[in-house]
Structure 1
């Protein structure tokens, strides 16, 4: 994986995991995105997709990775107690997150979800070395020659988005966020500026968001129509629609994907198993792999 920049999607749903016959093709796991950059492994969010990623890592022990949390709503952290590599001695994980509005850091919040009566074993039984660090909002950090920038997002309870840059390439991970009614969000535009890939929270359609009966205004999420506005204004090369609503079936997401492609051709609907290879020449089309194929590719690359 040296001299490569690859983005792998292990969980693409929002709000709650939703396995079932109508979510087979896009997947039902909640957010987890892995970036493999020049030999380093970066993991964004620990939704239920983190469990699947963890299983794929077991044949390549010991492992070291950097984990970045956008916030600690359940759909972004509930995979962490089931992340098997964290229980194995010899592995090492650097875990980053911003201080929450109540003053708690990322370690406390991950610890609290594993306390009785919510979970049978505490975080302290994890055998891997866990290095918790608080992110200062707006301040970049460096991992070798990789730069990770962040900015606050418009979400209840606060959240931050990330921009990951290496050489001349950048990927923006922007979830969970709600657009503003009268302007584009300057923080989102800054994170997405001329990015090779923008991963954007488009949980709703405009019709759902503005529904007079079931309005989603104030719920902290955006729409695919707003995603396109941001992508065009920021000069994004590839737009990835992410954080799918659990009630959206595979067929519904197919229709959304067709609508997005008509107004922003270089776009994708995120699905479990999607892998995007970014090269020095250009952003290549996504490799259309089944989830099992991505697992095999990741294991092979890590061996």
Structure 2
């Protein structure tokens, strides 16, 4: 079996989970594949000295960046240390990162890649809170703030923190197959796998939580009953408000209209059912409030650019019991 070397970059104020999340995925994949050499994982700092993470943990690298050959996969994590990085780090990336066969960033690690000119002319993502900063600071980068990860050629960038695990699982699936990636996901008790184009936020997180109790209860009702009548009139009745007052208050307190919130909840629910259940398209369309498969198809094509059947084909993860290891 092909051995792929993985080098994780370390620096002061790195986000520890940006490093350990993907590393655990790659290490677990080697175990699940029955080949301890499937991935050869090493960590490196500028001078080989230990680094202190943003949470206060100390990580001891295997080597200095100047030592050793170029890796197959270079993992560039994020963290507070990416805001004002050591110029030597940016310089090393500019000179050496192009030699890696695969360049991967997690969270604000994209800022390091962009600072080294490695994202110029490429589509990329990062943590939602820094997307605008990345776009303003590096206008040559095509920043997409929504997906949990983006792949552009041999460069892959991911969103905040845990999205690095999703990206690592996708890479393992590409390298070693779906069964191995699925086994790793089950062992880590995470989903296999959130597709890269899935939004960083769920509908509930993307919208603000309303201050007033009746509006918060309506938000919860929408989430729990996507198949119900969720018209403004019906929702206003639940909140004991007039439709006009309800629509104005909902937008004011959540930052979105009732209609858009309902659309996002229904789409999110339909995606989960397509990925995780064996229900038919017609059954899912009814369960999510679309009424007909055609209505659901239009919603998917409009938002995701793909019909439900194709979405299921690409992203459905078969559910099979597997013992813990």
TM-score using structure 2 length: 0.30
Q: As a proportion of its length, which structure holds more strand?
A: 1
Q: Which structure's CA Rg is the greater one?
A: 2
Q: As a proportion of its length, which structure holds more helix?
A: 2
Higher relative contact order (CA 8 A, sep 6+): 1
TM-score using structure 1 length: 0.32
